[in-house]
Structure 1
Amino acid sequence: MGNENGSKGYLYCICGVAVIGGLLFGYDTAVISGGEQALQKYFIAGLTEDFYSKLVHGWVTSSALIGCIIGGIISGFMAQNLGRRNTLIVASILFFLSALGSYMPEFLFRSDFSFYKSTESTKSVMWAFILYRVLGGVGVGVASAICPMYIAEVSPAEIRGTLVSWNQFAIIFGQLVVYVVNACIRSTLGKNEAEITERMVEVGWRRMFVSECVPAALFGILLLLVPKTPRFLVMKGQDEKAEKLLVRINGEKKAQVILEEIKSTLEEKKESLLTYGFIVILVGALLSFFQQTVGINVVLYYANRIFEGMGATGNVAMIQTVVMGIVNVFFTFVAIFTVDKWGRRPLLMVGSIGMAIGMGAMSALGFADKINGLLALIFVIIYTASFMMSWGPICWVLISEIFPNTIRSNAVAISVAVQWTFNLIVSSTFPSLSEWSKGCAYLIYCVFSILSAIFVYTLVPETKGKTLEDMCELWLSKKKGQELPK
């Protein structure tokens, strides 16, 4: 008896492996939060505070974002030539090497592993540490582009949005996991705060970074067990393998239809990036642009600073950050279970309005110089909840599905590079902006939230229920001046 309906269990398993890349995305970007103060003390002790200034420390702690930009740029070339699965295997190796190198960056520069040595050797260690963090950032940039692409290319149209949204949940979950791991590592270092602080400078930050080796190794091993995507197999002339995979996922009847659709849109394998018009590239880039300029990473990276600036003490600010994290997870689930029912556009526009309200209220608090930690928590939760149910996961869903097959790899790479570039710009400018004027800083993010709603309403098509092959017809009709389907 033939396979009539396909195996959802098999589909969920291979997508489950892919979302580990999202978990590593979150893990790698958040792991430094637990040890950055200890890392600062470590380098100051070897370099003096005059050399290792706050500006230098900011560069060291954010250096992974440079790698993220590089990873986003090269992801298209890698996906097109190595395939989606093999590219993710490369990313897992980069995650592993970064974790190992960040744990012991002096390996290549010291003859022993003593705590401190000369100023020159410590400078070399600092640059080695930056190199390893950039290496991990390349892995993040690659994974951020290819994980959603892989999931989208193996998933049936009717549940594709839900499955791709799980990647965003994995990112948020990865951040929570590393917060717990960091806290556990810290708790094992001593019996009192003075002892813990000293041990954090000696070994604590190292253990936090090396902990990433475990999920990175697991990701690489499990990737060896999953298939290449059917779209990539057809692009490489391996129709028989593609058909077997489609049958296993979708059933025999649907597999034949999907295979013919894939083949019909891949007849020309070397189409120009602008074959479907400039508008499709612009929409992808602007999705990434607005996801960052609404200010989400300001809140995620500087939550403690924001809450303390609104009157919360250190411990209370930490509790508020945890509350925010729990809310983020909950509202990511809202997106997962509604994206294929309500559609992409409604969720994005509702999210934009919610973010504008949250940031507008924060701006009012900043201008009024009102010290009210509870109000700040409420408005930040309104903002982050709105983002997590909309722009957080839905941006990745759209980037993975709006581009036609023949340009998808390179178009996704452009969108992801734009995303990481503006992540770096927004997150690095917030401290100086907030020092100048908290009200103005939050108002800027409020304005971009409003502009994001206008952008979605005017330019972003609804892709709910459409196959990846439908994107060719959609954008060709737009290029010819026909009405863009909503």
Structure 2
Amino acid sequence: MAANPTLSAPSGRPNMKYVTLVSIAAALGGLLFGFDTAVVSGAIGFLGDHFHLNDVQVGWAVSSLIIGCIAGAAASGWLSDSFGRKKVLVGAAFLFIVGSIGSGLFPSFSGYVAARMVGGLGIGVISTLSPLYNAEIAPARYRGRLVAFNQFAIVTGIFLTYFVNSAIAGAGNDSWDVSTAWRWMFGVGAVPGLIYSVLLLWVPESPRWLIKQGRAEEALPILLRIHGEEAAKREVLEIKASFKEAKVPFRDLFKPGMRFALTVGVIIAILQQVTGINAILYYAPEILKETGAGTNAALVQTILVGFTNMVFTVVSIWLIDKAGRKVLLMIGSAIMAASLALIGLVFHAGAVSGYLVLGLIIVYVAAFSISLGPVVWVLLSEIFPNRVRGRATAIASMALWTADYAVSQSFPPLLKSAGPAVTYWIFGVLSLATVFFTWRYVPETKGKSLEQMEAMWANEEEQPSESGLKKFKERLNN
């Protein structure tokens, strides 16, 4: 097939303008993710007063979304393997819109919870498939930064939501806030959801999924536009070779090479959450009030934390394809461990200073934003072989959301029973464990095509007794 010169990439190099636009459009699902996880922080006080919620119900109002996310992440692999990445993302955006509108409209607390779960289903799917889609469409050399757009969209959504909540709350008096403001906070999420749905209609289907379905003739024009004729035809053959079996049994996930990949993915996903990031982001105002800051000052400082999160995610996007995934994970986790140890020491010594704690939290968030925040999503989207990527990524994403739920639920009682010093030290120890786990078990994937990495896993499956972890990592890094 001859390449259409108006659609193909320049010979010898990828069409980065096109693939970047497509990746940004797909990654904007992260904006919905960020919005929906942050909107409740501004609405929960008014919502609690409106429905006269007790402490348990307040916790359920916050965490019901995460229950939906776990279910959505679990279903995303089978759905996307069956119906395609693009169609399932469009469906997830629709669920998000329904959940946003329903959260604001339902007159009962149970209706609110149901709507949040529906929205959570959409977010669980989007959080899994948006980075996976970008990994499948990106040229290997630029895959890290293109997938990391998803994390930038997440933190941008969180940051912008702080201002949206503030603007809505300031539009009326206290009575209006309790009766109406929180409804608008949730309902306004339908706007970015609708925009995302429209943008998704423009992006192509994943060429790797098309080839898996035996539709290489549909995938080739997409790859031509990304890579140019010679590279596109070569990539079609490589992708075809990676799908040796039309249907892959679920048990294939537990073959020697696949089992190692899945274990690495699940553990690194859990570590992203149990190192404490969402406990700090969800409860930042309360943490800062513990240092003596007033309510207004704590909210302003929380915005500063959100701004830090956004800025250093941009730094990570710039670094991830230069320094590599492994280096960023190790350095960032080490800085997180040091910051958390110092925060715990400040509380333990009783010499709590609002500015000192704020500064240490900012350092911690900056380190997370360079490392575990974006890099984990990149790794989850690229380390699994083509034939099992949807299901394996779904399992790891489900583990991530389950860990998020566990940390979010356990943080307030742990803070109350063990005290802030011990709580932050626990997160610090887990950050240190992340450094060790990354150094020992996480392979470097920078610059490798998805099919090159798959060949390494295949070698591990065929000769598990010959290689072991050390020889496997040597093959992957050579």
Q: TM-score range by the shorter chain?
A: over 0.9
Other-structure match for 1:208 = 185
Q: Is the 8 A contact 1:285 1:415 kept in 2?
A: yes
Residue by residue, what CA displacement relative to the aligned partner does 1:319-366 show, whole Å, maximum 9, x if unpaired? 221211111111101110010011000000001100001100011112
Which letter maps to 1:63?
S
Give aligned-pair identity as a percent.
Answer: 38
Other-structure match for 1:386 = 367
1:254 counterpart = 2:231: yes
Q: Secondary structure at the match of 2:254?
A: coil
Residue by residue, what CA displacement relative to the aligned partner does 1:251-271 show, whole Å, maximum 9, x if unpaired? 111101111110000121323
RMSD over equivalenced CA pairs, Å: 1.2
Other-structure match for 1:146 = 129
Q: Secondary structure at the match of 1:331?
A: helix
In the alignment of these two chains, the number of paired residues is 455
Other-structure match for 2:445 = 463
Q: Is the 8 A contact 2:340 2:427 kept in 1?
A: yes
Residue by residue, what CA displacement relative to the aligned partner does 1:229-287 show, whole Å, maximum 9, x if unpaired? 10000011111111110000111111011111100001213232224331111000011
Indicate which of 123, 136, 142 corresponds to 1:159. Answer: 142
Q: Is the 8 A contact 2:159 2:310 kept in 1?
A: no
Which letter maps to 2:317?
I
Other-structure match for 1:178 = 161
Equivalent runs, 1:375-454 vs 2, <5 Å = 375-436=356-417, 437-454=419-436
Residue by residue, what CA displacement relative to the aligned partner does 1:181-209 show, whole Å, maximum 9, x if unpaired? 111112221xxxxxx21101111011111
Indicate which of 232, 253, 274 corresponds to 1:273. Answer: 253
Other-structure match for 1:32 = 40
2 CA distance for matches of 1:247 and 1:277? 31
Q: Is the 8 A contact 2:31 2:156 kept in 1?
A: yes
2 CA distance for matches of 1:461 and 1:6? 26
1 CA distance for matches of 2:358 and 2:264? 33
Equivalent runs, 1:80-479 vs 2, <5 Å = 80-106=81-107, 125-189=108-172, 196-271=173-248, 272-275=252-255, 276-436=257-417, 437-479=419-461
Q: Which segment drifts farther, 388-397 or 3-12?
A: 3-12
Which letter maps to 2:83?
L
2 CA distance for matches of 1:323 and 1:93? 32
1:8 counterpart = 2:9: no
Other-structure match for 1:109 = none
Q: Is the 8 A contact 1:6 1:252 kept in 2?
A: no
Q: Is the 8 A contact 2:128 2:393 kept in 1?
A: yes
Task: Note closer, same or farther for the CA distance 1:6–1:467 as it changes in structure 2 (3 Å cut).
Answer: closer
Which letter maps to 1:336?
I
2 CA distance for matches of 1:345 and 1:6? 25
2 CA distance for matches of 1:144 and 1:9? 24
Other-structure match for 1:22 = 30
Q: Which segment drifts farther, 235-244 or 468-477?
A: 468-477
Per the normalisation by structure 2, the TM-score is: 0.93
Which letter maps to 2:307?
I
Other-structure match for 1:115 = none
Other-structure match for 1:114 = none
* Offset of residue 61 of structure 1: 2.1
* Offset of residue 6 of structure 1: 4.6
Q: Which segment drifts farther, 344-353 or 377-386?
A: 377-386
2 CA distance for matches of 1:335 and 1:441? 28
Which letter maps to 2:78?
F
Q: Is the 8 A contact 1:26 1:174 kept in 2?
A: yes
2 CA distance for matches of 1:370 and 1:159? 46
Q: Secondary structure at the match of 1:228?
A: coil
Which letter maps to 1:68?
C
Residue by residue, what CA displacement relative to the aligned partner does 1:414-466 show, whole Å, maximum 9, x if unpaired? 00000000000011111111112111100110000000010001110000000
Structure 1: stretches of 5+ with no match in the other structure: 45-51, 107-124, 190-195
2 CA distance for matches of 1:84 and 1:253? 26
Q: Secondary structure at the match of 1:35?
A: helix
Q: Is the 8 A contact 1:6 1:247 kept in 2?
A: no
Q: Secondary structure at the match of 1:446?
A: helix
2 CA distance for matches of 1:314 and 1:207? 22
1 CA distance for matches of 2:121 and 2:443? 31
Q: Is the 8 A contact 2:131 2:147 kept in 1?
A: yes
Structure 2: stretches of 5+ with no match in the other structure: none
1 CA distance for matches of 2:414 and 2:280? 14
